[in-house]
Amino acid sequence: GGALYRIHAPPSPEKLANLKTLLAPLGFTAPAANATPKAWAFLVEKLNQHPAAPTLLRAILQSQQQAKYESENIGHYGLALPLYSHFTSPIRRYADLVVHRALIAAHKLGSEGSQHNPQKLGRIAETINLTERRSQQAEWEARDRMVAEHLQGKVGQTFKGTITGVQPYGCFVAIDGLAEGLLPKWHLGEGWQYIAALNCYRQTRRSNAQSKRQQLRTGTTLQVVLHEADPLAARLTFTLDNAYRVS
């Protein structure tokens, strides 16, 4: 029979390029495509000293491929292991059963064992991966709805936020280290322009009190006002605090 493996591929070139674009303006260098996990650990250690460490560390996590189950082994990049099957987990019980039954059968430890051919294991792995993603998505949606419900009574209040992502349609902002919402482009006003090459928003002009135009990029901290909290849509929407608006 075959075996079930928990595999983890190296980061894709596209995700590495996005990470480099994010880190370069902050003075950090993303590891190369063939970098070892040790190089990533060194980067994480340096990022921990940055004021926006939680946001930057999350970007590191998002740059990595998602681990999944397969019937063919390619190794586990994150753990730096050429062979890795499965670690007993309360949220992956069926994978537990498949691996344990295969071990029982291989070592002739009793009648409860069973082994499958690679084709059937491939179908089992696909099902486990699908249910894992579905469970994770349900968890995220439930959390976002509960956070939005919790913050409904705080609409209009000002929060210290950190930009966690920048898109042509606006900036994603995290507040209180937990809640995340969107600061839409139209709430920024005409005084801000999206610069695709720098992946940031930049003031179109500076005021007399400023030495240079401000930028909004991943890792930037700023004051935002909670504009909307919609539990049904699991959505938070922010506006810029007046102190950050261009006069």
DSSP string, the chain: ----EEEBPPPPHHHHHHHHHHHGGGT--PPPTT--HHHHHHHHHHHTTSTTHHHHHHHHHHHSPPPEEESS---BTTTTBSS------TT-HHHHHHHHHHHHHHTT--TT-----HHHHHHHHHHHHHHHHHHHHHHHHHHHHHHHHHHGGGTT-EEEEEEEEEETTEEEEEETTTEEEEEEHHHH-TTEEEEGGGTEEEESS--TT-SS--EE-TT-EEEEEEEEEETTTTEEEEEE-GGGS--
pLDDT value for 130: 96
Residues 119 and 184 both lie in one domain: no
Give phi and psi for 227, each to the nearest 5.
Answer: -90, -35
Residues 213 and 140 both lie in one domain: no
Whole domain around residue 214: which residue ranges? 153-244
CA angle 33, 218, 162 (to 5 degrees): 135
Q: How far is CA 21 from CA 3, 77, 193, in A?
A: 39, 23, 18
pLDDT digits (tens, 9 = 90+) for 112-146: 778 788 899 999 999 999 999 999 999 999 999 99
pLDDT value for 247: 31
* 16 or 178, higher pLDDT: 16
pTM for this prediction: 0.76
The whole-angstrom separation of Cα 39 and Cα 9 is 16
Residues 107 and 51 both lie in one domain: yes
Domain boundary among 111, 145, 179: 145
Residues 111 and 162 both lie in one domain: no
Domain boundary among 112, 145, 178: 145
Residues 138 and 161 both lie in one domain: no
pLDDT digits (tens, 9 = 90+) for 54-107: 888 888 998 999 999 999 999 999 888 999 998 887 778 899 889 888 888 888
Tell me, rounded to whole angstroms, the distance of Cα 108 from its chain centroid.
Answer: 42
Q: How many structural domains comprise the chain? A: 2
Residues 125 and 158 both lie in one domain: no
pLDDT value for 246: 41
Residues 169 and 116 both lie in one domain: no
The amino acid sitting at 234 is A
Identify whether the C-beta of residue 206 lies closer than 8 Å to the C-beta of residue 212: yes
Residues 23 and 54 both lie in one domain: yes
Residues 128 and 157 both lie in one domain: no
CA angle 180, 185, 190 (to 5 degrees): 145
- Mean pLDDT of the region 149-162: 94
Domain boundary among 145, 177, 203: 145
Tokens at 180, concatenated: 């995340």
Residues 9 and 129 both lie in one domain: yes
pLDDT digits (tens, 9 = 90+) for 26-58: 889 999 888 888 899 999 999 998 878 888 888
pLDDT value for 82: 92
- Mean pLDDT of the region 212-238: 92
- Mean pLDDT of the region 152-172: 93
Residues 21 and 141 both lie in one domain: yes
CATH number at residue 180: 2.40.50.140
Residues 35 and 131 both lie in one domain: yes
